[in-house]
Protein backbone atom coordinates (compact mmCIF):
# COMPACT_ATOMS: atom_id res chain seq x y z
CA UNK A 1 0.00 0.00 0.00
CA UNK A 2 2.87 2.37 0.70
CA UNK A 3 4.07 2.06 -2.89
CA UNK A 4 0.77 3.46 -4.16
CA UNK A 5 1.12 6.53 -1.96
CA UNK A 6 4.67 7.11 -3.12
CA UNK A 7 3.62 7.00 -6.78
CA UNK A 8 0.68 9.28 -6.04
CA UNK A 9 2.96 11.92 -4.52
CA UNK A 10 5.42 11.66 -7.40
CA UNK A 11 2.79 12.20 -10.11
CA UNK A 12 0.97 15.09 -8.45
CA UNK A 13 3.94 17.54 -8.61
CA UNK A 14 4.66 16.52 -12.21
CA UNK A 15 1.06 17.27 -13.17
CA UNK A 16 1.11 20.69 -11.50
CA UNK A 17 4.47 21.57 -13.01
CA UNK A 18 3.38 20.77 -16.54
CA UNK A 19 0.11 22.69 -16.15
CA UNK A 20 1.78 25.78 -14.75
CA UNK A 21 3.80 26.40 -17.92
CA UNK A 22 0.90 26.65 -20.38
CA UNK A 23 1.26 30.40 -20.90
CA UNK A 24 3.77 31.50 -23.52
CA UNK A 25 5.30 34.01 -21.12
CA UNK A 26 5.96 31.22 -18.60
CA UNK A 27 7.47 28.97 -21.26
CA UNK A 28 9.75 31.80 -22.38
CA UNK A 29 10.66 32.50 -18.74
CA UNK A 30 9.32 36.06 -18.63
CA UNK A 31 8.01 37.50 -15.39
CA UNK A 32 4.62 38.76 -16.58
CA UNK A 33 1.87 39.98 -14.30
CA UNK A 34 -1.47 40.01 -16.09
CA UNK A 35 -2.95 43.48 -15.88
CA UNK A 36 -6.52 43.81 -17.05
CA UNK A 37 -6.68 47.06 -18.99
CA UNK A 38 -10.11 48.46 -19.78
CA UNK A 39 -10.12 49.35 -23.48
CA UNK A 40 -12.06 48.68 -26.65
CA UNK A 41 -10.91 45.88 -28.92
CA UNK A 42 -11.31 45.09 -32.60
CA UNK A 43 -11.38 41.48 -33.78
CA UNK A 44 -8.96 40.93 -36.67
CA UNK A 45 -9.57 37.69 -38.56
CA UNK A 46 -7.08 36.35 -41.04
CA UNK A 47 -8.96 36.42 -44.40
CA UNK A 48 -8.77 32.62 -44.86
CA UNK A 49 -9.72 31.82 -41.26
CA UNK A 50 -6.34 30.59 -40.02
CA UNK A 51 -6.18 32.86 -36.97
CA UNK A 52 -7.98 35.69 -35.21
CA UNK A 53 -6.63 38.28 -32.82
CA UNK A 54 -8.39 40.86 -30.65
CA UNK A 55 -6.40 44.08 -30.78
CA UNK A 56 -6.93 47.35 -28.95
CA UNK A 57 -8.80 49.64 -31.38
CA UNK A 58 -6.07 52.27 -31.34
CA UNK A 59 -3.38 49.81 -32.56
CA UNK A 60 -2.19 50.21 -36.11
CA UNK A 61 -2.64 46.93 -37.97
CA UNK A 62 -2.12 45.70 -41.49
CA UNK A 63 -2.64 42.39 -43.27
CA UNK A 64 -0.38 41.04 -45.97
CA UNK A 65 -1.83 38.06 -47.86
CA UNK A 66 -0.35 36.03 -50.72
CA UNK A 67 -0.56 32.44 -51.92
CA UNK A 68 2.49 31.55 -49.76
CA UNK A 69 1.70 33.34 -46.52
CA UNK A 70 -0.77 35.44 -44.61
CA UNK A 71 0.51 37.93 -42.02
CA UNK A 72 -0.84 40.52 -39.63
CA UNK A 73 1.44 43.29 -38.35
CA UNK A 74 0.39 45.37 -35.37
CA UNK A 75 1.75 47.90 -32.88
CA UNK A 76 0.63 50.67 -30.58
CA UNK A 77 1.74 53.64 -32.69
CA UNK A 78 0.54 56.12 -30.07
CA UNK A 79 3.80 55.31 -28.25
CA UNK A 80 7.42 55.93 -29.17
CA UNK A 81 9.28 53.07 -30.86
CA UNK A 82 11.26 52.47 -27.66
CA UNK A 83 8.04 52.18 -25.62
CA UNK A 84 6.06 49.63 -27.64
CA UNK A 85 6.40 46.24 -29.32
CA UNK A 86 5.98 45.50 -33.01
CA UNK A 87 4.33 42.14 -33.60
CA UNK A 88 4.06 40.11 -36.80
CA UNK A 89 1.81 37.03 -36.77
CA UNK A 90 1.85 34.87 -39.87
CA UNK A 91 0.93 31.51 -41.29
CA UNK A 92 3.26 30.14 -43.96
CA UNK A 93 2.05 27.55 -46.43
CA UNK A 94 5.40 26.23 -47.65
CA UNK A 95 5.93 22.68 -46.44
CA UNK A 96 8.23 22.76 -43.43
CA UNK A 97 8.56 20.53 -40.41
CA UNK A 98 9.03 22.46 -37.19
CA UNK A 99 11.06 19.69 -35.57
CA UNK A 100 14.42 19.14 -33.86
CA UNK A 101 16.33 19.39 -37.17
CA UNK A 102 14.64 22.75 -37.85
CA UNK A 103 15.44 23.90 -34.29
CA UNK A 104 19.13 22.97 -34.58
CA UNK A 105 19.50 24.66 -37.98
CA UNK A 106 17.72 27.84 -36.84
CA UNK A 107 19.82 28.02 -33.66
CA UNK A 108 23.04 27.52 -35.66
CA UNK A 109 22.04 30.33 -38.05
CA UNK A 110 21.18 32.71 -35.21
CA UNK A 111 24.52 32.02 -33.49
CA UNK A 112 26.34 32.82 -36.75
CA UNK A 113 24.32 36.02 -37.29
CA UNK A 114 24.65 37.18 -33.66
CA UNK A 115 27.93 35.67 -32.41
CA UNK A 116 28.27 37.83 -29.29
CA UNK A 117 24.65 37.67 -28.17
CA UNK A 118 22.93 35.33 -25.74
CA UNK A 119 20.25 33.26 -27.46
CA UNK A 120 17.55 31.59 -25.40
CA UNK A 121 15.74 28.80 -27.24
CA UNK A 122 13.49 25.93 -26.20
CA UNK A 123 10.60 23.74 -27.21
CA UNK A 124 7.09 25.04 -26.45
CA UNK A 125 3.48 23.97 -26.70
CA UNK A 126 0.71 26.49 -27.38
CA UNK A 127 -2.94 25.78 -28.18
CA UNK A 128 -2.15 22.13 -28.84
CA UNK A 129 0.55 23.07 -31.34
CA UNK A 130 4.17 22.16 -30.73
CA UNK A 131 7.08 24.32 -31.72
CA UNK A 132 10.06 26.33 -30.58
CA UNK A 133 10.87 29.86 -29.50
CA UNK A 134 14.03 31.89 -29.93
CA UNK A 135 14.75 34.97 -27.80
CA UNK A 136 17.74 37.10 -28.72
CA UNK A 137 19.18 40.62 -28.98
CA UNK A 138 20.59 42.27 -32.07
CA UNK A 139 22.18 45.61 -32.78
CA UNK A 140 20.03 47.68 -35.12
CA UNK A 141 21.68 50.95 -36.21
CA UNK A 142 20.63 53.33 -33.40
CA UNK A 143 18.77 51.01 -31.02
CA UNK A 144 19.21 47.67 -29.38
CA UNK A 145 16.66 45.31 -30.90
CA UNK A 146 15.23 42.48 -28.82
CA UNK A 147 13.33 39.74 -30.60
CA UNK A 148 11.19 36.73 -29.79
CA UNK A 149 10.36 34.33 -32.62
CA UNK A 150 7.82 31.58 -31.99
CA UNK A 151 7.46 28.81 -34.58
CA UNK A 152 4.42 26.53 -34.25
CA UNK A 153 3.68 23.53 -36.44
CA UNK A 154 0.26 23.53 -38.08
CA UNK A 155 -1.56 20.90 -40.11
CA UNK A 156 -0.36 19.98 -43.60
CA UNK A 157 3.18 21.09 -42.70
CA UNK A 158 2.18 24.75 -42.73
CA UNK A 159 3.45 26.70 -39.74
CA UNK A 160 2.87 29.84 -37.72
CA UNK A 161 5.60 32.37 -37.03
CA UNK A 162 4.98 34.97 -34.34
CA UNK A 163 7.71 37.64 -34.17
CA UNK A 164 7.81 40.31 -31.50
CA UNK A 165 10.37 43.12 -31.68
CA UNK A 166 11.20 45.71 -29.04
CA UNK A 167 13.70 48.51 -29.52
CA UNK A 168 15.80 50.07 -26.77
CA UNK A 169 16.59 48.71 -23.35
CA UNK A 170 13.82 50.11 -21.16
CA UNK A 171 10.86 47.99 -20.05
CA UNK A 172 11.68 45.33 -22.64
CA UNK A 173 10.17 42.48 -20.62
CA UNK A 174 7.01 44.50 -19.92
CA UNK A 175 6.55 45.21 -23.65
CA UNK A 176 7.09 41.54 -24.52
CA UNK A 177 4.53 40.62 -21.86
CA UNK A 178 1.94 43.00 -23.33
CA UNK A 179 2.42 41.53 -26.81
CA UNK A 180 2.33 37.94 -25.52
CA UNK A 181 -0.86 38.71 -23.58
CA UNK A 182 -2.54 39.61 -26.88
CA UNK A 183 -1.22 36.41 -28.49
CA UNK A 184 -2.44 34.33 -25.50
CA UNK A 185 -5.98 35.57 -26.11
CA UNK A 186 -5.81 34.84 -29.85
CA UNK A 187 -6.98 31.78 -31.76
CA UNK A 188 -4.82 29.74 -34.12
CA UNK A 189 -6.75 27.21 -36.18
Handedness of CA 98, 103, 104, 108 (dihedral sign): positive
Q: For the chain, which ranges sit under pLDDT 70?
A: 1-21, 34-38, 140
Q: Write down the pTM of the prediction.
A: 0.86
Give the C-alpha distances (Å, rounded to integers) separating 74 from 36, 111, 182: 20, 28, 11
Residue 11: predicted pLDDT: 40
Domains plus CATH for the chain?
Answer: 2-188 (3.40.1000.10)
Rg (CA), the chain: 18
Amino acid sequence: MKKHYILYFIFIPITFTSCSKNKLSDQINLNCNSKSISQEFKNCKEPNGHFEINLPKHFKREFFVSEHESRLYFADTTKELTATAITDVGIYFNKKNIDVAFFNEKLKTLKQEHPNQKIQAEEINFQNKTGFYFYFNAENENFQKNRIEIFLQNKNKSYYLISIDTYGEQKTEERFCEALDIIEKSYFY
